[in-house]
């Protein structure tokens, strides 16, 4: 006797094909993590450059850079025109009701570059510099000449009865 052949159904349902995402889920997880890291890194970079921009545009920084751009020693060290570089650091705040700025700003010229160090206090819009020094790359730090206050005008004494 022979064994009967097993009965086969006429139609065997097959499972639906798996989607691309199901087949490559590891790749999707890796790409998702990379996107999150890139967005976070971009956000941190944007935040840091916003802080640099705030420090560079501060009135004490602008006045200090203007003084340095007119200083003959700074011009001799890095050349002219002198531009404000992208990097800035330091502190800006208020102490005992007085505005205080303690900044380090990068300056660039056609010959070289360097760092301008300034410490200033302000009452109102007038900034007084306690420290204004420039350190060229590969050179020695020196004081930046501050513009002197204009000499008071002396009027001649009136002659005769008045």
Q: Pairing state of beta strands 142-143 and 113-123?
A: unpaired
57-143: which CATH topology? Nuclear Transport Factor 2; Chain: A, (3.10.450)
Q: Which residue ranges in the chain fall short of pLDDT 50?
A: 151, 162
CA distance 93 to 28: 47
In the chain, domain spans: 21-52, 57-143
CA distance 17 to 155: 101
pLDDT at position 4, please?
80
Dump pLDDT digits (tens) for 123-157.
Answer: 777 788 888 999 988 888 888 876 655 545 555 55
Q: How many CA atoms lie within 13 A of 154 on its CB side?
A: 3
Tokens 């006045």 locate to 63
Does the CA dihedral 136-139-141-147 come out positive or negative? negative
Q: Classify 51 as helix, strand or coil.
A: helix
Tokens 């990068």 locate to 106
pTM: 0.67
């Amino acid at each position: 006797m022979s064994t009967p052949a097993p009965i086969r159904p006429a139609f065997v349902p097959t499972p639906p094909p798996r989607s691309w995402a199901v087949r490559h889920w590891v790749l999707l997880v890796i790409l998702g993590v990379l996107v999150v890291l890139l967005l976070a890194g971009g956000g941190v970079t944007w935040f840091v450059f916003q802080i640099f921009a705030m420090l560079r545009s501060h009135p004490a920084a602008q006045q200090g850079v203007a003084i340095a751009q007119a200083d003959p020693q700074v011009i001799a060290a890095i050349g002219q025109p002198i531009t404000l570089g992208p990097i800035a650091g330091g502190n800006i705040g208020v102490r005992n009701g007085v505005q205080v700025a303690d900044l380090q700003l990068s300056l660039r010229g056609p010959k070289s570059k360097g760092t301008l160090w300034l410490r200033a206090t302000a009452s109102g819009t007038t900034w007084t510099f306690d420290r204004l020094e420039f350190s060229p790359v590969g050179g020695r730090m020196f004081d930046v000449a501050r513009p002197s206050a204009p000499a008071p005008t002396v009027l001649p004494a009136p002659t005769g009865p008045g």
